[in-house]
Structure 1
Amino acid sequence: MARPVLYITSSDYAVRTGGYVYNSRLVQVLRQQGVDLETHCLEQGFPMVPESERAALARRLAALPHHTLLLMDHVYLGRLLELFRQMPHPIAAIFHHSDVMEHGTGSDEKGRRLFEAERASLSRADALLVSSDETARYVREQYGFSAHHIHAAVPGNDPVLRTAVGDYATNGGPRILSIGAVIPRKRYDYILDVASHLKTPGWTWNVAGDPSRYPGHLLRLQEKAESLGLTDRFTFLGDVADKELETLWQASDLYVAASHYEGYGMAIAEALRHGVPVVSTASGAVSTWAKAGVTSAPAEDAETMAQEIDRLISTPDRLHTLGDLAWTFGQTLPGWAETFTGMDAWLETIDRPAPALHGSFS
C-alpha cells in the first residue's frame, strides 16, 4: 500500500511567489500521480505559528500512522522544529533557498543566527526537494546534507503566447519589467541606480511584486526614485493578478533582474518562455541554467549594467534577435508534469532516521 502524505502549509504563505507556485504545482501533480495526500493548512505561519495552531497540528500528527510522510516548505520545519522532533514521521522538506540569503548577508551576526537555526531545522529533515542543482550544492556544502537524500526538480512552466518585443510604435517606447517581492534580496535599490543611468529615450520600467513583507522598504525605494527623478518612468505596481501579469508580459520588451541570490529564478524562466530577452546579474542559480536569450550584467556597476540595457533597447533589431533566442530556449524548459515525473516513487523511498549534518558557517 502506498504511504500517506500530509502536506503542511499556511494560509499566509505569500501567494504570488515562486515558492508558492512550485509547492502548489507539486501537490497538484502528486495527486494526479495517485498519491494519498492530505493537507494541513495553518491559519498563521508567519512570522511564528501560534500555540493554538501548534497544539492542533500536534493532535493531528499524533493520530497519524508512523509511516506517514510529512511534506512541507522548509520554513515550517524551522518554525515547528520542537514539535517535529517529538514525532516519529519521516519528513521531506522543500528547500527553495536559504533563509541566510533571504534575510541576512551571509556573513553578519544575523546571518550567523539564521545559519544555525536553519542547520538545526534541516537536521530533522530526512530528505530535501530542491529546485536547482545550485541549491543542492549549497545544502551539501553549507550543511553537509547527504547528496543521496536530495532530489533536484527544476520549476516547470505553463504554455504561454509569445511576446512581440520591440514594438515601440504600439507601446510608445521600450518597456522594461522586473518581477518579485519588494524585499532587499531583489536589490531594487541597485535597479534604481541602473535606471538612473539609462540614455535611451522613452523607456518605462514596471516592477510587479508584493510590497508588504518588509514594511518601510517600499517607501525608501519610492523616495529614492523621486530623488533620482524617476517617478514618472519607474513604477512599483504592487501585487498583481495573474491576468494583469500576463498583460504586462505581452507589453514588455526586456526583463531585468539583479537579485542578490536566486535558488532558481522562475521569473527569468517565464521571461524566456515568453520570448522576452533578459538582462541579469549572476544571481545564484540563474547563471547555471539560463543559457540563451540572457545578457549577463555586473552586480556592482550600475552604469555598465545600464549600458548593456541601452545597447539592447536602443535598437529593436537587437531585441528581436535576442527574443528569438529567448523563445527557442524557453520552449525547451520543462512543463510541471515533466518536472515532477517520478516524484511519487521518490517519496516512497524516504525514511527515518535523518542523515547527520556537519556543516559550518561560512
Structure 2
Amino acid sequence: MAEFILAAPGDLETPTGGYLYDARILRELSARGRPVRALALPDGFPTPSAGAIQRSLELLAAVPRDATLVVDGLAFGTLPADKLRVLRRSLAALVHHPLALESGLSREDVERLEISERQALREASAIIVTSSATRRTLIERYRAAPERVHVAEPGVDPAPRAIGNADGPAVILSVGALVPRKNHENLARALALLGDLDWRWRIVGSDDRDPACARRLAGIVRELGLVERVSFLGAVPPGELEDAYADADLFALPSRHEGYGMAYAEALARGLPVIAGDGGAAPELVGPEAGALVEPDDVPGIASALRRLIEDPSARKVASDVAWTLGQGLPRWAHAADVFERLMTATSGENRAA
C-alpha cells in the first residue's frame, strides 16, 4: 500500500489550528491502517529563504512517486510554480486560508503572495480546503478550476457542555495565536468600554508567532487599565485547554479572516456563545443566533455584542442553546479523513496511468 505523506514547514506539534488539522488527519488515516508520515520542510515559510525553497524542492523530489503527496499551503503557495512543474509528479495542496489574506501585510506583500499562490496552485493536481468559503475564494479570486478544489472541514470531538462561572464574573475566552489577523487588540478596546460590568478575559494562544503583536497587545491591556481582568495563558496542553473551555461563559475572537475557524467550532461544540468576526468562513460556521457576528474594526459594535451577552443571562442562555445545537451537528474528523482517502485512491489511479 502506497504511503500518504503530508509535507509542512517545521513541527506539526506547533499549537496552531493548521498544524493541529494536519496532525489529526495523519492520525485518522493511520488508525485506518494507512501508511502515513509527516515530511518536515524547512522553517521560514511563507517568507522562505532561497535555501529553504531549494531544500524543500529537494525533499519533495525525493518522495516516492507512488505516494500521495500533500503539501501544506503555508509552503505550497510560495514555492515557485516552474520548480513544482519540474517535479513531474502528482501533488496536492492543502490550503487552510490563502496567504495573501493574512493581516498586517504590506500591499506589496499581498500582491506578491497572491500572485505566487495563484501560480503555484495551477500546478496542483488537487486542492483541499477547509471550508466552502475558502473554496469560493480560490475559484473566484485565484481562478482555481472548480473540479480540483475539494472541501474537508475540520472535525470536532464530542465534548461536554461548558459549565461556566455562574457564581462569579462572566469569563470570556479567546483561543488563537497572538497575531494581527485574530484581532485581539480591538477586542481589548471593546472590553475597555465595559468597565461597569463584571467580567474576566482569558487568552489562550502562542505569543511567539508574532512577538511584536504580542507585545503590542500587552501594552494596550496595560494602557486601558485591564491588567487585573486579563489573563495571558499562552499555548497550553490539551487538558488545560479543555478546562478553559469548560470554565468559560462565552467565546470571543473578532478575527479579520478565518479559513474555517477551528476554535469557533470547538466553542460551539461546548455550547458557548460565540462572538466572531464576519469575514471568511465564520458567518457560515457560527451564524448570528449563536452569539454575534461583528465587523472587526467596529469597536463599539464588538462592545455592544459583548454587553448583551455579559449583562443579560437570558440572552446568553438562548445563544448557548443555539450554539450547542449547532455544535452537535458539526462534522467529525472521520469526514475529513474520508476526503483524503478519496484523494489517495485518485492519486493511485493517476500513478498507475502514468
Would the TM-score normalized by the shorter structure come out above 0.5?
A: yes
Say yes or no: does 1:302 pair with 2:286: no
Change (3 A) 1:352 1:54: farther
Picking from 262, 265, 268, the partner of 2:264 is: 268
Give 2:323's aligned residue.
326
In structure 2, C-alpha distance between the alignment counterparts of 1:284 and 1:159, rounded to whole Å = 25
> Would the aligned equivalents of 1:281 and 1:297 in 2 still touch at CA under 8 Å?
yes
> Would the aligned equivalents of 1:10 and 1:44 in 2 still touch at CA under 8 Å?
yes
Give 1:240's aligned residue.
236
Deviation at 1:270, TM superposition (A): 0.5
CA distances 1:175-232 after superposition (whole Å, capped 9, x unpaired): 0011111111111121111111114432111111111111221111111111111111
Change (3 A) 1:148 1:222: same
Q: Alpha carbon RMSD of aligned pairs, Å? A: 2.6
1:31 counterpart SS class: helix
Letter in 1 for 2:300: E
Give 1:41's aligned residue.
40
In structure 2, C-alpha distance between the alignment counterparts of 1:44 and 1:234, rounded to whole Å = 32
Change (3 A) 1:158 1:136: same
- The farther-off stretch of 9-18 and 23-32 is 9-18
Give 1:6's aligned residue.
5
In structure 2, C-alpha distance between the alignment counterparts of 1:302 and 1:63, rounded to whole Å = 49
Letter in 2 for 1:311: R
Matches within 5 A, 1:99-178: 99-103=99-103, 108-165=107-164, 167-169=165-167, 172-178=168-174
Q: Work out the percentage of aligned pairs sharing the same amino acid.
A: 31
Deviation at 1:330, TM superposition (A): 0.6
Change (3 A) 1:43 1:316: same
Say yes or no: does 1:182 pair with 2:178: yes
Give 1:219's aligned residue.
215
Q: How does the TM-score come out when normalised to structure 1? A: 0.87
Picking from 267, 275, 293, the partner of 2:290 is: 293
Letter in 2 for 1:238: G
Q: How does the TM-score come out when normalised to structure 2? A: 0.89
In structure 2, C-alpha distance between the alignment counterparts of 1:301 and 1:345, rounded to whole Å = 42
Deviation at 1:161, TM superposition (A): 1.4
In structure 1, C-alpha distance between the alignment counterparts of 2:153 and 2:102, rounded to whole Å = 19
Deviation at 1:168, TM superposition (A): 3.0
Deviation at 1:248, TM superposition (A): 0.9
Q: Please, which runs of 5 or more residues in structure 1 have no aligned partner?
A: 354-362
In structure 2, C-alpha distance between the alignment counterparts of 1:27 and 1:326, rounded to whole Å = 29
In structure 1, C-alpha distance between the alignment counterparts of 2:283 and 2:21, rounded to whole Å = 20
Change (3 A) 1:138 1:63: closer
Change (3 A) 1:87 1:253: same
Q: Please, which runs of 5 or more residues in structure 2 have no aligned partner?
A: none
Higher helix share: 2
How many residue pairs end up in the alignment?
347
2:324 counterpart SS class: helix
> Would the aligned equivalents of 1:254 and 1:276 in 2 still touch at CA under 8 Å?
yes
In structure 2, C-alpha distance between the alignment counterparts of 1:173 and 1:305, rounded to whole Å = 19
1:341 counterpart SS class: helix
Letter in 1 for 2:101: M
Give 2:343's aligned residue.
346
- The farther-off stretch of 96-105 and 122-131 is 96-105
Letter in 2 for 1:233: R
> Would the aligned equivalents of 1:211 and 1:238 in 2 still touch at CA under 8 Å?
yes
Deviation at 1:341, TM superposition (A): 2.3
> Would the aligned equivalents of 1:68 and 1:90 in 2 still touch at CA under 8 Å?
no
Deviation at 1:340, TM superposition (A): 2.5
Deviation at 1:25, TM superposition (A): 1.5
In structure 2, C-alpha distance between the alignment counterparts of 1:27 and 1:195, rounded to whole Å = 39
Deviation at 1:9, TM superposition (A): 2.5
Change (3 A) 1:59 1:303: closer
Deviation at 1:113, TM superposition (A): 1.3
RCO comparison, higher one (Cα < 8 Å, 6+): 1
CA distances 1:6-42 after superposition (whole Å, capped 9, x unpaired): 3213434572111111111112222234434343223
CA distances 1:33-78 after superposition (whole Å, capped 9, x unpaired): 443434322363545368489558626734723x433112012224
